[in-house]
Structure 1
């Protein structure tokens, strides 16, 4: 008798280990600050702000999240400096075991634009599927599913325009997840773009990964390649480094200063334009991020 299969990752999380390794904790686009606090009545507040080093534009948002874990209910409300109001209501594991539904809306009063998206996710042993309906865009119905067995993963996604009655987007993926490494192959954008990602936990302190992307409709042609690594210096600090085939090197350093306080520093260098001394120009970038959490 075969053993029960674990729940596979969702479609959006296929290749997540490699993606996180190559994209997260590289704060070189400017200065950003994030403050997180929790109130006694189960309300979590998060205030974030970013100053872009290239445009000097400052953006931010205020988020409040209330959760009733006993009844699986979560309500999140966000207000941004662009005067956009976002609301999300989630209900998890109440209608059926493994089923999560939510409604996400947004409103821009000045422009009069609004969105409303119904989402659902259902996961069981060896199976994970999601569906969403964008009410005002199309409306468009999107569904995806991932099957997993003994580490092997197969997934597909499709978007259907209800008004026009045709499939507007489809994609497929295969992969393999092991405790120390994972490999994922994607066929995206109606199978016009192909990507391959690899992640390897070398040991407790070192991780490595790579990603290659080939777009059949790209005017430049060729494969975009990126490789990176992450090394823990101690339990409260780590460094990250990556390089792509365009010669751009990115470095990231994150340090826990004390419980609830974290600082991250980032640097990006275009090795083909090292003579450019402007640190906030188009080629070389620096940035910093601070997170305060109570």
Structure 2
């Protein structure tokens, strides 16, 4: 096949999504810290309303936020406004494909009126075959300039992130990552915390019903030990799946998700400290349980 006939490279994932398949298996659908309720509704005019509430098991506090967003697909403009029970106001404006195809501009601002605290983040994202670049400017902090990029070819991914503090005139942090993606599996290596924390993760779709992943993390500053976590996800049918994960500290987490009807999903989570399950000495505070319920219409 000639170079002109070679298939174009897909757009690689962003920096934050490198290793996402493994992270989703190990991190999502385990509502063990409390109970959540999420309601989403969509209008024919393109407006989406979202209400989210959380009851935290540890503090017994109830928090939540109300969000409204509007998206004009033809003009590539979206507007999101949110108000939380902590009295935090957030606004986000996105402009897509205005100056060039694959280019997106974002302005994200937050305001806490009672503390007169405010923040503003300017962001640009550019996506093209084999390339994914993001830039952020934290206006009121530093200002802090953060850039990350991922390049990919034939499944091989190379990513880097750096942050520069304009006030201090120094590099605030730098990180590197390497990954490989195939249809049924993916691996990712990260060097974070100015190359002091290292992690390796893998994801494997064993078959149509079973997925598995694992992650090993080593912090050269905190400990000489390697933290290991393994997990799996099994689809029971088209409407339900179970998940399980365990780490080398003996924490076993279980998750079960069930689609009750179109647009209604219930998820239940349980975490057990297996080192404290001995008879007569079980510590109930070491175990966690929670649930989430999602409505979407």
| Same topology, TM > 0.5 | yes
> 1:194–1:104: structure 2 CA closer, same or farther, 3 Å change rule?
same
Alpha-carbon offset, residue 155 of structure 1: 0.8
Partner residue in 2 for 1:259: 262
Equivalent pairs, count: 291
Partner residue in 2 for 1:118: 122
Alpha-carbon offset, residue 34 of structure 1: 0.4
| Counterparts of 2:238 and 2:282, CA distance in 1 | 35
Q: Is the contact between residue 31 and residue 291 of structure 2 (CA under 8 Å) also seen in structure 1?
A: yes
The one of 201, 207, 212 equivalent to 1:203 is 207
Partner residue in 1 for 2:99: 95
The one of 6, 14, 20 equivalent to 1:16 is 20
| Counterparts of 2:105 and 2:200, CA distance in 1 | 31
Deviation larger for 235-244 or 270-279: 270-279
Q: Secondary structure at the match of 1:59?
A: strand
Q: Secondary structure at the match of 2:30?
A: coil
1:83 aligns with 2:87: yes
| Counterparts of 2:242 and 2:99, CA distance in 1 | 43
Alpha-carbon offset, residue 277 of structure 1: 4.9
| Counterparts of 2:88 and 2:282, CA distance in 1 | 38
Q: Is the contact between residue 276 and residue 283 of structure 2 (CA under 8 Å) also seen in structure 1?
A: no
Partner residue in 1 for 2:173: 169
TM-score, normalised by the number of residues in structure 2? 0.96
The one of 228, 235, 242 equivalent to 2:231 is 228
| Counterparts of 1:92 and 1:244, CA distance in 2 | 41
Partner residue in 1 for 2:29: 25
Q: Note the 1:84-163 alignment, pairs <5 A.
A: 84-163=88-167
| Counterparts of 1:239 and 1:74, CA distance in 2 | 35
Partner residue in 1 for 2:58: 54
| Counterparts of 2:283 and 2:158, CA distance in 1 | 46
Q: Secondary structure at the match of 2:64?
A: strand
Q: Secondary structure at the match of 2:23?
A: helix
| Counterparts of 1:277 and 1:43, CA distance in 2 | 49
| Counterparts of 1:259 and 1:123, CA distance in 2 | 33
| Counterparts of 1:132 and 1:152, CA distance in 2 | 25
| Counterparts of 1:186 and 1:55, CA distance in 2 | 34
Q: Secondary structure at the match of 1:179?
A: coil
Q: Is the contact between residue 185 and residue 202 of structure 2 (CA under 8 Å) also seen in structure 1?
A: yes
| Counterparts of 2:94 and 2:227, CA distance in 1 | 38
| Counterparts of 1:273 and 1:20, CA distance in 2 | 27
**Runs of 4+ with >2 A deviation:** 275-279
C-alpha RMSD over aligned residues: 1.0
1:192 aligns with 2:196: yes
Partner residue in 2 for 1:38: 42
Alpha-carbon offset, residue 41 of structure 1: 2.1
Alpha-carbon offset, residue 165 of structure 1: 1.1
Deviation string for 1:185-217 (max 9, x for gaps)?
000010000010100011111100001110000
Q: Secondary structure at the match of 1:70?
A: coil
